[in-house]
Amino acid sequence: MRVLVTGGCGFIGSHLVRRLLEDGANVRVLDNLATGRLSNLGDLLAEVDLVEGDLRSYERVSNAVRGCEVVYHQAALPSVPRSVQDPLTSSSVNAAGTQNVLLAARDEGVRRVVAASSSSVYGFNPALPKREDMATLPMSPYAVDKLASEGYCRSFQRVYGLDTVVLRYFNVFGPYQDPNSQYSAVIPKFITAALEGTAPTVHGDGNQSRDFTFVADVVGANLLAAGAPPAAAGEVFNIACGNRTSLNEMLEMLGELTGGMIEPIYDEARVGDVPHSQADISKAREGLGFEPAYHFSDGLRVTLEHYQEIQPALSRP
């Protein structure tokens, strides 16, 4: 089976590509390498059909989609702060780019599109845990873009009969997540600081909490969504652990794993960030057969070991 992974050189996309290759799929990758890196695939590059191109080009997207049975749409311009700084580019990639993927999939007769969304669409809704039938109150341009992308997926399902399944990711983390970008997620930044013996910066008081989700569980959810029964088509599913951990708790756990006390620097909260996030994953359990295999502490340990391996000189004794 030939499949396309948009953003296949990125953090989540590269993990998905690895798993698909292990399962014997014929994998094509579409990536403009703006945030993705060829090194994320390493020696597997020889095993994939790499198409360099931008989501904003329908022609490029259409060429990549041609001949594929399933499209895993992972490509995006991520980060809430980036979208606050440059909402126009965020929208052109995340919302209009998704339209191009859906149009190409419709035109090329793709069986199903599995599209990545974000828990950020829940935004300012304070109710916990988050359920898919709750009101969405996005706070950042990025969250608005992701919600628009969900709407396009539902529209193409209903209007054109294109099978789509949307997965709302909750704070995904794991190996190969870039710690060097100013828009990086907190876990790779905190791990790098711990290995370097420097103080990580926490935006806010550290009591904000997240449903941190290990990347292997997200990959498994994508595979389940691609093979789910017809009833899953047109639906949105939370993909998470179903628990939440505060940043202060996470730093304490990281200190225990690295054998030292981590004293962060507390800074102002970032515009567009929500205080707490936790998923209700019962719909994914019932509709996809999804069950997270990694507790947060297990995923954090595996992720730390990865960074210790690639940065041995920075590891504490």
* Residue 242 scores a pLDDT above 80: yes
Which residues are CB-contacts of 302 (< 8 A; sequence separation ≥ 6)? 174, 175, 214, 294
- Strand, coil or helix: what is 14? helix
For the record, the structure tokens of 24 come out as 């014997």
Percent over 90 (pLDDT), the chain: 85
Listed range (79-83, 103-107, 227-231) with the worst mean pLDDT:
79-83
pLDDT at site 285: 98
Domain boundaries, the chain: 2-172+212-239, 174-210+243-274+295-314
Tens digits of per-residue pLDDT, 156-213?
Answer: 999 999 999 999 999 999 999 988 765 568 899 999 999 988 999 999 999 999 999 9
CA within 13 Å, CB half, 274:
27
pLDDT at site 260: 81
Residues 4 and 21: their CA atoms lie apart, in Å, by: 12
Q: Among the options 58, 72, 122, 142, which is catalytic?
A: 142
* Residue 142 falls in the annotated catalytic set: yes
Residues 117 and 114: their CA atoms lie apart, in Å, by: 10
In degrees and rounded to multiples of 5, residue 47 shows phi and psi of: -100, -5
* Residue 312 scores a pLDDT above 60: no
Residues 51 and 228: their CA atoms lie apart, in Å, by: 27
Residues 262 and 255: their CA atoms lie apart, in Å, by: 6
In CATH, 2-172+212-239 is 3.40.50.720: yes
CB 8 within 8 A of CB 45: no
CB 104 within 8 A of CB 75: no
Tens digits of per-residue pLDDT, 118-152?
Answer: 999 999 888 999 999 999 999 999 999 999 999 99
| Residue where the block lists tokens 């419709």 | 106
In degrees and rounded to multiples of 5, residue 31 shows phi and psi of: -155, 140
Percent over 70 (pLDDT), the chain: 96
Tens digits of per-residue pLDDT, 191-202?
Answer: 999 998 899 999
In degrees and rounded to multiples of 5, residue 112 shows phi and psi of: -155, 145
Residues 61 and 258: their CA atoms lie apart, in Å, by: 44
Burial class (CB in 10 A: 0-12, 13-18, 19+), 13: buried
Assigned CATH for 174-210+243-274+295-314:
3.90.25.10
Report the candidate in 140, 171, 177 with the shortest Cα–Cα distance to residue 35. 177
- Strand, coil or helix: what is 279? strand
- In the chain, helix, strand, coil percent, each to 5? 45, 20, 35
- Specify the amino acid at residue 126: P
Band of pLDDT at residue 310, cut at 50, 70 and 90: confident
Residues 59 and 57: their CA atoms lie apart, in Å, by: 5
Tens digits of per-residue pLDDT, 24-77?
Answer: 999 999 999 998 999 999 889 999 999 999 999 999 999 999 999 999 999 999
- Specify the amino acid at residue 80: V
Angle at 87 between CA 123 and CA 191, to 5 degrees: 65
CB 225 within 8 A of CB 114: yes
Largest CA distance in the chain: 60
pLDDT at site 182: 58
What is the mean pLDDT of the segment spanning 88-109? 97
Q: How far apart are the first and last CA of the chain?
A: 47
Residues 219 and 221: their CA atoms lie apart, in Å, by: 5
